[in-house]
Amino acid sequence: MSAVPMNWVDKLPRLPRPVRLAFVTGVHLIFFTAAYLSAFLVRFDFHIPTNFREPMWEGLAALLLVKMTVFALFKMFQGWWKYVSLYDVIALAQALALATLAFLLVNTFLIEPVMYPRSIYLLDFLLALMFIGGARGSLRIMREATVHRASRTKKSVNIIIVGAGDTGETLVREINKNRNLAYRPLAFLDDDTYKHGLRIHGVPVLGKISDLPELAEKYGVEQIIIAMPSASREQIRCVIETARQARIETRILPAVEAILDGNVSINHLREVSINDLLGREPVKLDTYAIGRFIEGATVLVTGAGGSIGAELCRQVLRFNPKHVVMVDCAETPLFFINRELGGLYDDRVTPFVANVTDLERMRIIFAAHRPDVVIHAAAYKHVPMMEQNPCEAVKNNVGGTQNVADLAAEFKAKTFVLISTDKAVNPTSIMGATKRVTELYVRHLNASHPDTKFCAVRFGNVLGSNGSVIPIFRDQIQRGGPVTVTHPEMTRYFMTIPEAVQLVLQAASFNSPSELFILDMGEPVKIADLARDMIRLSGLSETEIPIVFSGIRPGEKLFEELALSEECVDRTDHKKIFTGKNGDFDFQELRPIYLTLLAAAHASQEIEVRRQLKTLIPTYTHPDIPENVVSIGTGKHRAVLTV
């Protein structure tokens, strides 16, 4: 982007500092004198009585001395007038007020009293503020006007801003003051009818969002910028669809991280992403509670190279832990997250290439670092892949969790957190069934090891995680389609990776006896709608990128659930986190079946693995499991045996 030619204000020669200071001081002397004399003229209707003329001239020297002294102390001669702002005007008013008060005291007590009318002091203050503030503001206005005219000489992008609130106002203000930004705001659109007809920094609010098609064509709009942090999914989708039909580029401000930081800038402009169409509010955290939970603690994260594990490490380090131990069996992802965080946090990050199924290797790591907090994110998660490899799913998800959880109890960690999934609820897949077993095991440890708090945090899909539907759809669109969806009615819960991780840390910080936390995932989203949104975001249509329905894969469900029917779900202090409370449960009754499951997995007996999972989790079903089963035990958590 080429710079706008310098205007005449910028072309003025720069004076040496002493010369500039002398010049600015002289200008202020002129303004002070003019304001003081004008105060008398205004007060006496331009006919100063004879008895006030001599005191007027006698007081001028004292006035100039006082004001110059105060302005020097306040460094008021060092401001750059062409960049004057509201803060400069406020500082000017404060300096003048203090100078006026000082002059009143000097005139009353330190020299022969001069009986001025009291209005003289007020008029002098107001006129000095008007003269000096007006001079400074005029120079800035002239500079910005010439900048604006100069910017017209180059190609500017005609834009309409959707959202006439604080974010939109900030955007226009930054465009106006930065001559290198090649944007030309033509209008605001906002559904708040109270704002219609108003002007913000000279840009009119012309109508509602629904008026966008007509205005885009009328004004030759080249880009639409969404400046509504609280915009709903439907509003953003409407803007995108309108822009797509008119072949207009759509961008959004601010990014989520800008909202969290409270910092809005033109630099945060970006393309609309699928995250924006979820319509989810930014997470509000009790950072004090999380900080108290993590600060000064040694935190061990398994699966640290994965999408969730890596973000957990990033977020944990925000809260000043003593040390973060990162464990993963995948060398390359672990290398990258260690390179990212190691350079920022030096010796507070230690990576270990290790498999959670290797008990002795994990024991060495625990013995070396004795973690206070253990967050277990390591797991095999891809449903179709685990359907083909059920024994590996059990060895890693069940056996690996047992190893890490048992070591947390053995080394007396304060907290153990299991990352679970909504697929553990009434599971129909190997992956979901193994995660449900781990929830039960963690619940058992929480009851039997009072020195360590054991809990599981259950949530749905995260957007953009490795191997998830978003990267797959993006790749299919880039290849020219088709986009494959398993079923028209397939729905899932979604949240962003940072949101999920922040809520995991919040849940883990709760001083609660609950062993299960369930995250509020919002409204479920149809996968087919997600695919259509991604196609639209790419500026294409379904005629160009068709959607093909391939059929439900083994182990998949049409609809996911977040809680079992027998789990009593209660609220916590955080509106997006709930607790799940189960009925009576005796893991010892199920221990023989649990051990048989692990033995079958290590013996690579796939059918037996499925049978034992069915025994432990009655809602789990698979075509290879025989129907001749009976239940044992009492209560809602019964066990089922093959006969």
Domain residue ranges of the chain, discontinuous segments joined by +: 8-150, 157-272, 287-461+495-521+561-585, 588-642
For residue 643, the model assigns a pLDDT of 31
For residue 634, the model assigns a pLDDT of 35
- Please, what sign has the CA dihedral across residues 245, 248, 249, 250? negative
Question: Of the candidates 525, 389, 394, which has an alpha carbon nearest to the alpha carbon of residue 468?
Answer: 525
- Calpha distance 190→196 (Å, rounded): 8
Question: Of the candidates 406, 416, 466, 456, which has an alpha carbon nearest to the alpha carbon of residue 436?
Answer: 456
SS3 call for 324: strand
DSSP code of residue 44: T
Cα atoms found within 13 Å of the Cα of residue 189, Cβ hemisphere only: 21
SS3 call for 17: helix
Tokens for 509? 């910080």
**Average confidence (pLDDT) over 425-429:** 83
- Calpha distance 28→32 (Å, rounded): 6
Give pTM, 2 decimals: 0.60
Residue 343 clears pLDDT 60, i.e. is over it: yes
For residue 323, the model assigns a pLDDT of 94
Residue 568 clears pLDDT 60, i.e. is over it: no
- The CATH number of domain 287-461+495-521+561-585, selected from 3.40.50.720, 3.40.50.2300, 3.30.390.50, 3.30.465.10: 3.40.50.720
Strands (DSSP E) found in 63-148: none
For residue 571, the model assigns a pLDDT of 60
Query: What's the one-letter identity of residue 200?
Result: I
| Cβ-Cβ contacts under 8 Å for 360 (sequence gap 6 or more) | none
> Which of the given ranges, 175-189, 192-206, 368-382, has the highest pLDDT on average?
368-382
Residue 638 clears pLDDT 50, i.e. is over it: no
| b/e map 405-423, b = 16+ CB within 10 Å | bbbbbebebebbbbbbbbb
**Average confidence (pLDDT) over 581-591:** 72
For residue 360, the model assigns a pLDDT of 96
Please report, for residues 310, 340, 378, the alpha-carbon distance to residue 304 in angstroms, rounded to integers and kept in the order given.
5, 12, 8
For residue 313, the model assigns a pLDDT of 94
Q: Is it true that 157-272 and 287-461+495-521+561-585 share their CATH fold?
A: yes
Displacement of CA 582 from its chain's centroid (Å): 34
Q: Is 423 a catalytic residue?
A: yes
SS3 call for 491: strand
- Calpha distance 400→376 (Å, rounded): 9
Please report, for residues 133, 176, 393, the alpha-carbon distance to residue 146 in angstroms, rounded to integers and kept in the order given.
20, 11, 68
Tokens for 551? 């059929």
In the chain, pLDDT over 90 holds for what percent of residues? 23
- Residue 255: pLDDT band by 50, 70, 90 thresholds? very low
Residue 11 clears pLDDT 70, i.e. is over it: no
- Residue 260: pLDDT band by 50, 70, 90 thresholds? very low
Please report, for residues 122, 494, 497, the alpha-carbon distance to residue 463 in angstroms, rounded to integers and kept in the order given.
63, 6, 6
17-21, 66-70, 217-221, 504-508: segment of lowest average pLDDT: 17-21
Q: For tokens 């309108």, name the residue.
A: 242
CATH number of 157-272: 3.40.50.720
| 40 membership: H or E segment, kind and range | helix 17-43
- Calpha distance 375→405 (Å, rounded): 10
**Average confidence (pLDDT) over 130-150:** 66
DSSP code of residue 402: H
| b/e map 447-462, b = 16+ CB within 10 Å | eebeebbbbbbbbbbb
Question: Of the candidates 361, 433, 362, 425, which has an alpha carbon nearest to the alpha carbon of residue 394?
Answer: 433
- Catalytic residue, chosen from 381, 423, 435, 557, is 423
